Chain A
């Protein structure tokens, strides 16, 4: 796999173990959703990838150039979790100063986004609404003409229309310029809408990784009916809900394999169909 970002066995401890051998890959040219419950280690991972924090162990390889450096930062667009910009600058000044750092700044895209995002250039950054701050931070990240966009909850504070516009912008960036996008979010619908790759994290480590199609195919929602209470639910199953004699849950085994395995125990597999991303997410989060 041609990777844009490779994270290997990152370990980071604050007052608790924030990252516990976090490892994953992001394929080049993909839109990768970085999913996980609160406190799962998403922001800590992105901070280490960006070089804001340092890991106790493990390594990061960004665009094949090793750990983050000023040279690599020229090829990265970043939107942090907290979208605060300089309290001493106006919106227009933020754009002017950021331009100076990037030789490939896209002036045309800047003009388009300014029109689209409706950013008041003369307003102080502190006076901007939460949504406008987010839009300005996105403009500053996207216009760098970066090879890799790292976005920590990019739609936070955006209304559904602006959020949808952003999703389309990201898809367009990937289509036009083969940018790789890694975005963390709590919104499963956003991942389903635009991502073609997904990394799910929980308790400081990656628990699920792969293309969306692959993950959906791998996880079946299975409904079975059991004849006696002594039947044990296989370990490969997760997220079980019991309703009398009926059990519904997720399995990453093919329906035919399941049917064969349960037949001996007197259990009938009623049906199996691809699970939704939400079901996969909830099952992983419960573990």
Chain B
């Protein structure tokens, strides 16, 4: 049936489905680990009394009043930060080739000519691809959130829903920024250089997200950070759409 917008999203879904499936399986496995992690850590802190010290150490956490729910919130934040990074790296792309995963240093596939011959502007392809990637990211992050909340209810732990939802939104918006950046990379450059730049960015984000301090920072959702990330993503998406219009494929 004739529907260009449905057709272009169908194209993007075909491109993303394998990565979405793999990431969903990873979310399910991480969910089981999350249950064990929360139960085990909560037991440890309950007997050692270290939780009170940790809460006291971070003013932001104390102000949020998470209290004993800090452990479920913090472990959720840790899992979500890494999941968001991984998923957005594997869901990113510009719509003119295979997805720009870290394994693939070349971002443009010969099938780019087929895509460019479809009756859509390059800017439309570029932007719909970003939307489709973001949709997949939201789906897996949403699945992760629902799974973690369900597990907390099953193992009878406190559910800091607002904080968990906040960290999920934060990971989604951070992921959107990364995807917009990769989309921009695919139009301003191609080949090994783009792959190396993206690899460097992802690894830097990965390493700087590790550690308890960063995790606790991540627990606290901040509106200003959300706004800045959304604005930066929109700017990069607009820039990539503009570049895509006048670039040789």
Contacts and interface: CB of A to CB of B under 8 A. Distances in A.
Interface in A39-64: 47, 50-54
A244 interface: no
A101 B121 CA distance: 12
Contacts of A89: 14
Contact of A105 (B2, B117, B120, B124): B2
10 contacts: A50-B116, A52-B113, A53-B249, A85-B111, A86-B111, A88-B14, A93-B14, A99-B7, A100-B1, A100-B4
A228 interface: no
A140 B119 CA distance: 13
A98 to B, nearest CB: 8
A240 interface: no
A100 B117 CA distance: 14
A235 B120 CA distance: 50
Given A84-B110, A87-B109, A97 B117 contact: no
B103 interface: no
Contact of A86 (B3, B114, B117, B249): B114
A76 interface: yes
Nearest to A80: B113
A106 to B, nearest CB: 13
Nearest to B4: A101
A100 B248 contact: no
B116 A52 contact: yes
Contacts of A99: 1-2, 7
A71 interface: yes
A80 B118 contact: no
A87 B119 contact: no
A97 B11 contact: yes
B10 A96 contact: yes
The residue in A101, A137, A140 that gathers the most chain B C-beta atoms within 10 A of its C-beta is A101
A97 B10 contact: yes
B26 interface: no
A74 B248 contact: no
Interface in B30-85: none
A54 B248 contact: yes
Contacts of A70: 119-121, 124
B246 interface: yes
A265 interface: no
A78 interface: yes
B184 to A, nearest CB: 19
B121 to A, nearest CB: 5
A102 B119 contact: yes
Contacts of A234: none
Contacts, number: 84
B6 interface: yes
A54 B14 contact: no
A4 B67 CA distance: 74
B15 A86 contact: yes
Contacts of B14: 86, 88-89, 93, 97
Contacts of B114: 80, 84-86, 137, 140
B98 interface: yes
A100 B119 contact: no
A208 B2 CA distance: 41
A258 interface: no
B18 interface: yes
Given A88-B17, A97-B10, A101-B4, 20 more contacts: A50-B113, A53-B248, A53-B249, A70-B119, A70-B124, A73-B117, A73-B118, A73-B120, A78-B117, A86-B14, A86-B111, A89-B14, A97-B7, A97-B11, A99-B1, A99-B7, A101-B7, A101-B120, A105-B2, A140-B114
A103 interface: yes
Contacts of B121: 70
A82 B113 contact: yes
B98 A52 contact: no
Contact of A51 (B6, B110, B116): B116
Nearest to A152: B113
Contacts of A47: 249
A42 to B, nearest CB: 15
A84 B111 contact: yes
B170 to A, nearest CB: 30
B8 to A, nearest CB: 8
Contacts of A53: 248-249
Contacts of B119: 70-71, 73-74, 101-102
Given A97-B7, A100-B7, A80 B18 contact: no
Contacts of A80: 110, 113-114, 117
A151 to B, nearest CB: 12
Contact of B3 (A50, A52, A74, A100): A100
A101 B10 CA distance: 11
Interface string A91-124: 0010011111111010000000000000000000
